Structure 1
Amino acid sequence: MVVVVVVVVVVVIIVVVVVVVVVVVLVVIVLVVEVVVVEIVVQRQHQRHQRHQW
């Protein structure tokens, strides 16, 4: 029984770690995508403003 408990605990810990890592990676990807999109939008706005000025 002790072995079974230890195995279950180890499996649970591994699953939790994997879930946390996946969540962190997803959050980082979302942040990077948002930053890139914002930069693209800002550049486009700047280009439009420059075109209007010229």
Structure 2
Amino acid sequence: MSIVVVVVVVVVVVVVVVVVVVVVLVVVVVVVVVIVTVVVAVAVVVAELVVVAVVIEICQIQQTTEPAVQDVR
């Protein structure tokens, strides 16, 4: 009877350890996915802001150069 009890205890401990490891791995994967998603979202927002700033700068340059060209004409 004692051998059976030892085997059952070992099996239960192994199953609990495997479940804990799987849960930890799932949590790590979810955290990594969330971090990557946030980083990509921030990068997209920064890229959009840079594009908007460049477009505004180009428009300002065109506005400042075009009247001078028109005045010369």
Q: Which residue, 20, 27, 34 being the options, matches 1:20?
A: 34
CA distance in 2, matches of 1:53, 1:35: 28
Unaligned runs of 5+ in 2: 1-14, 69-73
Query: What do the CA deviations read for 1:1-54 (whole angstroms, capped 9, x no partner)?
Result: 111110000000000000000000000000001000100010001100111122
Misfit runs of 4+, over 4 Å: none
CA RMSD of aligned residues (A): 0.6
Count the aligned residue pairs: 54
TM-score, normalised relative to structure 2? 0.72
Distance in 1 of aligned mates of 2:45 and 2:34: 16
> Which is greater in Rg?
2
